[in-house]
Amino acid sequence: MNGSGGGGGGEEEMEEDGGGGCGQGAGAGAGNKERVVLMWGYLPGVSPQRSPLLGPVPVRLPPAAAAGGDGWRDVCGGGCGFAMAISESGKLLTWGSADDMGQSYVTAGKHEETPEAFPLPSGIAIVRADAGWAHCVAITDDGDVYTWGWKECVPTGRVVGDQSSAGTVEKDERQIAMATNQVSPRSQVSRTSSGAASGPSESRGTDDSSKRRRLSSAKHGPESSTSSDESLSAPPCVVTFNTGVKIVAVAAGGRHTLALSDLGQVWGWGYGGEGQLGLGSRIRTVSSPHPIPCIESALYSKDRSSAMKGNKTAEGHISKVMGNCVRAIACGGRHSAVVTDSGALLTFGWGLYGQCGQGNTEDVLSPTCVSSILGIKMQDVAADGDVYSFGGNQFGQLGTGSDQAETVPKLVDATSLENKNARSVSCGARHSAIITDEGEVFCWGWNKYGQLGLGDSMDRNVPCNVPVDTYHPLNVSCGWWHTLVLAESPT
């Protein structure tokens, strides 16, 4: 699962990617070769004509960074209309924008083609980061967690920076309601990056059920703008955890965030109306990090406890299969997934398109094991390099060769992936991407804005190889309408 997932990336597997976040494992085999970041797809402002990049294009380092000998460390995908990556020196580099006016409270400065360092306190080094619809979260090398963006996504914490006018992060219900009504088209999709593979794109069809939260009637597509009202945004703050908790991974969903400690405990905060915080209820807002009982919830759900009642042998076997702690996390737009130390996949949150992989379209309020693949050990991407996908499939983002949604994980067994092992996977709004052991990039799904990098705007429902010339890809991370690849230069 890219991004811890990722952005995050199942997701579509979990739904959009988020992704997943960046900062993990991208250095494998990097050697001393120069690293480059390749991008394709759509970012507002990257070109004056607002035209998408239909194929891989190298991203330029900020002049100051290049002059100082800095380089690329990893890619983080990004959120709605903006991209993120981490430099070797630990700077979080951002480009693009969350609105069409050129301003953004989640990126540095105005939207431009050249990345800029996001203004975090001097002296800190970012090692991992992820982005949701309009909020970001990052971890420093000291284990501190910073987050900023939409107020409802930012818990009460120690505010940093000089934005005195935006120094409060208290939850104002009126402002939150405004934010809900002003959601950008990005909120009509969802991103993620999960262990198994792909899931939904959360299109907003008509739904009369009170369980489904309607977000916005905004136009679908990059042409619509996002409100840049600073009263709805919070500046960077340090997230406060219990004493002794060290965070090693983060994942950002549409309006919620997960964090993973070094001991395998998951924490969550933000919006939880569909169960994406895994607390057993539809709690709307959790304003500070709350521990999520992942293993306990999966072990002692009502169905499982009744089946094992009095059977110590069965209970012990299930406990062994489920594992003892969480090793990877990922967020979709409105659902979440975690992988345990034994390789079990647990999901929770919005299930309208089957993105929780439970064989139905119900919301899942507590972490629940995806039983159809129990026993297949998930390791970030999948088992033995295979990719599994589930959830919405309107644009072929599951890679199964059709547009049929899948409510349980299905093996992506396309001919193009025969005898190939995936080692990195990520999902965007409605597209998916992997990197194989051989360093090949494959993309599939929605391609209206060139986010597949195949030179055109035609959707694909099976994995297709992306030509990257002589570059050697190390990691892939999808944003909503774009894709980033960290690669080694041939020279």
Is CATH 3.90.1150.10 the classification given to domain 120-157+233-298+314-325+341-369?
A: no
Q: Which CATH class is domain 40-74+87-118+379-490?
A: mainly beta
Q: List phi, psi (to 5°) of 488.
A: -90, 140
Q: Any idea which of 158-167, 249-258, 381-390, 471-480 has the lowest mean pLDDT?
A: 158-167
Kindly calculate the radius of gyration of the chain based on its CA atoms and give it in whole angstroms: 20
395 within 8 A of 384, measured Cβ to Cβ: no
* pLDDT digits 0-9 by tens, 363-418: 999 999 998 888 787 765 444 578 999 999 999 999 999 999 999 999 999 999 99
What digits encode the pLDDT tens for the residues 77-106? 888 888 999 999 999 999 887 555 544 667
Per residue in 57-83, pLDDT (tens digit) is 999 998 888 889 999 999 998 888 889
What single string gives the DSSP state of each residue in 454-485? Answer: SSS---EEEEEEEP-TT-EEEEEEE-SSEEEE
Mean confidence (pLDDT) of the chain:
76
Q: In the sheet where 256-261 sits, what is the strand order? A: 247-252, 256-261, 266-271, 285-292
- Asked if the domains 40-74+87-118+379-490 and 120-157+233-298+314-325+341-369 are classified in one and the same CATH topology, the answer is yes
pLDDT value at 316 more than 70:
no
pLDDT of residue 456: 96
Within 13 Å, how many C-alpha atoms sit on residue 430's CB side?
27
Residue 317: pLDDT over 50: yes
| Domain positions in the chain | 40-74+87-118+379-490, 120-157+233-298+314-325+341-369
Residue 192 vs residue 248, higher pLDDT: 248
Taking the C-alpha atoms of residue 424 and residue 73, their distance in angstroms, rounded to an integer, is 16
Mean pLDDT of 300-310: 49
Mode of pairing for the β-strands spanning 266-271 and 335-340: unpaired
Average pLDDT over residues 459-479: 95
